Amino acid sequence: MCGICALFHADPIEAEEPIKKMVAVLRHRGPDAKGIKIFSKGGLGHTRLSVIDLESGDQPMGDQTRRYWIIFNGEIYNYREIRDELISLGYAFGTQSDTEVILLAYVQWGRFCLDRFRGMFAFVIWDTLEGTLFAARDLFGEKPLYFAVDQKGVLLVTSEIKALIASGRLVPRLDYDAVDAYLALGYVPPDRTIYTNIHTLPPGHYLLWDGQKPNINRYWKPHFLTKQRNMDDAAEELDELLKRAIKRQMVADVPIGAFLSGGLDSSTVVALMSSYIGSSVKTFSVGFGDYINELPYARTVAQQYSTDHFDVDLGEPDVGRTLERMTEVYDEPFADTSNIPTYLISRFAGEHVKVVLSGDGADELFGGYAWYLPLIRSEAMKSSVLKWMVCRSVSRLLGHRFNELNLNSMAMGLSARWPDMWTRNVMCNMQIRPVERRSFWGDRWKNITPYSPGEYFQPAPETKGMDRAFHYDLSSYLPGDILVKVDRAAMAHGLETRAPFLDRDLVEFVFSLPASLKVRSDQTKVLFRHVCRQYWPEALRMRAKQGFGSPIDRWLKRPDVKNLIRENVEEGTRLRALLPGIKSLPCKNLYAVWILLVLGLWLEKNQVTI
């Protein structure tokens, strides 16, 4: 894992200092080495976390002709197979690195090389002869890539927004529409940034640059081509693909570990890793006192597979101080409360290994979220608003979450209000509804385009039923929240994380499965449970899902957090200057309070013009 930056077209004298500044800011992503290469029209910069080819994999790296140069962040897990193919075509290699494989694959196949890669990546290739730049990002955006064009028409590309700003070549401008999107979701959607003049290269896209306007193209998107499959045949193929994905992602020249929460996903990863590794897998678990403590479950898995297990109970974290640290780790406002425990477990694991595998992506692929149960029930339900309101009143009176009555009430509400399954899931994920956001903006609302997911998030017309719901989470929640959370939290400690469930071959197989093999009215992850229960200790098999969230109600009552609210959210703050319509904090929607607090902290830290 690394940090990358590029600057073109500019005089080399003008390029060197900004690149040095960007490299300095990215050092946490690559603490092992750094490199800069200046050309006649700009330059490339790189910070390296050495994982593959420790001796000769330094970057920026050129091909033997010195025409093409690359900077790369990520891992290509099938690079050895691609390397062998390129050798058979007459290419010679000077290193054992996957970086050189990407470079020569591009020389051979151009942009079509992207279809051959199985891995996570963000890279930039500079063609010194043509004076053109090619950049690309992996399918789901496991690795970040941002770009901007300054007032002189110079293109800047880098791994993190803070590095672009550090270059000194542009002044960031706040995007009010992106702020509204953040208020709606708790994260900035993956097709934009919080700034109008800084852009993200979306997942599954590549960028071409010849000195004019950046040309952005999509080379991959989630596409559901459902085939009829019976449970046994699908189970056999899924098991093989899971094993292949885990084996692929264990390629490294340094020790590899795994996050082990004691949940189904990470336990499956650890079980399959243990069948391939020659020694004990290093596993890492963190408990947080009495509100998040999965340590007993994790220890059960570690004992079954004889892992080299490390765990620690950190009690309740210093929430106020860590929240302020998060404004530095995340360059944009980011309100997923699980970023705090993720940051802390990454710090713990980073003391022992450079690489860990995680279970990220399994819930989106296999249908693991609790909100899928009312969604699938709504598919077969026709309800009126009146009927739903009656059922909801009874459900609230009884006060139970996710029991039969409440699930049916939620399904009725979805069915009565929104006919399309995609829209239903969008609304399930909406943290602050438009009417409340409008009140926050006050008179500024007339200049805001209320957030609604655009074309980037839309499934193909032939995508039906629950697949439409899955598509939204795979194109928005996974890349915009989950993968951002893990990448920034881990790389703050120089730790590489890998998500084997996002292996392209595995993903595209899962897209071919009927939704009934993923979610039923009374069960999530149907096929996944059927296949993987063989790898779980008995104590895990019937265990209910426990997310890595945090007790917002408890945290908001802490003196340190209440002090942050007073300093960053109440009257006279930059948040109130941005959102003048806030008269009082929304007492019923505690997550809305958290979203506002995080935004307020971010505004104070970044001092962007409001």
pLDDT given for residue 354 in this prediction: 92
Query: What percent of the chain is modeled with pLDDT above 90?
Result: 75
In angstroms, rounded to a whole number, what is the distance separating the alpha carbons of residues 334 and 349?
A: 23
Residue 22 clears pLDDT 70, i.e. is over it: yes
Residue 40 clears pLDDT 80, i.e. is over it: yes
Q: Summarize the confidence of residues 494-514 as an average pLDDT.
A: 96
In angstroms, rounded to a whole number, what is the distance separating the alpha carbons of residues 507 and 573?
A: 45
pLDDT given for residue 331 in this prediction: 96
525-546 pLDDT, tens per residue?
Answer: 999 999 999 999 988 777 666 5
What is the layout of strands, in order, in the sheet containing 61-62? 61-62, 68-76, 119-127, 132-137, 205-209, 215-218
Q: For the chain, which domains are there?
A: 2-218 (3.60.20.10), 231-366+469-541 (3.40.50.620)
- Residue 111 pLDDT class (50, 70, 90 cuts): very high
462-489 pLDDT, tens per residue?
Answer: 999 999 999 999 999 999 999 999 999 9
Residue 412 clears pLDDT 60, i.e. is over it: yes
In angstroms, rounded to a whole number, what is the distance separating the alpha carbons of residues 348 and 551?
A: 21
pLDDT given for residue 440 in this prediction: 95
Q: Summarize the confidence of residues 559-573 as an average pLDDT.
A: 91
428-437 pLDDT, tens per residue?
Answer: 999 999 999 9
Q: Would you say the C-alpha torsion 601, 190, 23, 326 has a positive or negative sign? A: positive
In angstroms, rounded to a whole number, what is the distance separating the alpha carbons of residues 495 and 265?
A: 20
227 vs 23, which has greater pLDDT? 23
Residue 417 clears pLDDT 70, i.e. is over it: yes
DSSP character string of 518-581: T-BTTBSSHHHHHHHGGGS-HHHHTPPP--S---HHHHTTSHHHHHHHHHHTSTTSHHHHH-TT
Residue 386 clears pLDDT 60, i.e. is over it: no
DSSP one-letter code for 62: E
Strands 68-76 and 61-62: antiparallel
pLDDT given for residue 229 in this prediction: 86
Q: Would you say the C-alpha torsion 50, 53, 58, 59 has a positive or negative sign? A: negative
In angstroms, rounded to a whole number, what is the distance separating the alpha carbons of residues 81 and 114?
A: 14
303-360 pLDDT, tens per residue?
Answer: 999 999 998 887 888 999 999 999 999 999 999 999 999 999 999 999 999 999 999 9
Q: How many helices (H) and strands (E) does the chain have?
A: 25, 17
160-175 pLDDT, tens per residue?
Answer: 999 999 999 999 999 9
pLDDT given for residue 355 in this prediction: 93
Residue 9 clears pLDDT 80, i.e. is over it: yes
What is the layout of strands, in order, in the sheet containing 355-357? 308-313, 282-287, 256-259, 355-357, 496-498
In angstroms, rounded to a whole number, what is the distance separating the alpha carbons of residues 577 and 593?
A: 17
pLDDT given for residue 384 in this prediction: 60
In angstroms, rounded to a whole number, what is the distance separating the alpha carbons of residues 19 and 5?
A: 7
Q: Angle 432-604-442 (CA atoms, 0-180°, nearest 5)?
A: 40
408 vs 205, which has greater pLDDT? 205
Task: Respond yes or no on whether the N-terminal peptide bond of residue 9 is cis (omega within 30° of 0).
Answer: yes
pLDDT given for residue 393 in this prediction: 63
Active site residues: 2
Residue 401 clears pLDDT 60, i.e. is over it: no
pLDDT given for residue 292 in this prediction: 66
pLDDT given for residue 267 in this prediction: 95
Query: What percent of the chain is modeled with pLDDT above 70?
Result: 94
Torsion angle of the four alpha carbons 207, 211, 212, 213, in this order, in degrees rounded to the nearest 10: 30
- Residue 383 pLDDT class (50, 70, 90 cuts): low
Q: Summarize the confidence of residues 188-201 as an average pLDDT.
A: 98
Range 422-444 burial, b when 16+ CB lie within 10 A, else e: bbbbbebbebbeeeebbebbeee
Residue 52 clears pLDDT 90, i.e. is over it: no
In angstroms, rounded to a whole number, what is the distance separating the alpha carbons of residues 529 and 277?
A: 24
545-561 pLDDT, tens per residue?
Answer: 655 567 888 899 999 99
**Nearest one of 73, 519, 539, 521 to 529, comparing CA atoms:** 519
Residue 565 clears pLDDT 60, i.e. is over it: yes
- Residue 55 pLDDT class (50, 70, 90 cuts): low
pLDDT given for residue 120 in this prediction: 97
Task: Respond yes or no on whether the N-terminal peptide bond of residue 479 is cis (omega within 30° of 0).
Answer: no
232-247 pLDDT, tens per residue?
Answer: 999 999 999 999 999 9
Q: From the CA atom positions of the chain, what is the Rg in Å?
A: 24
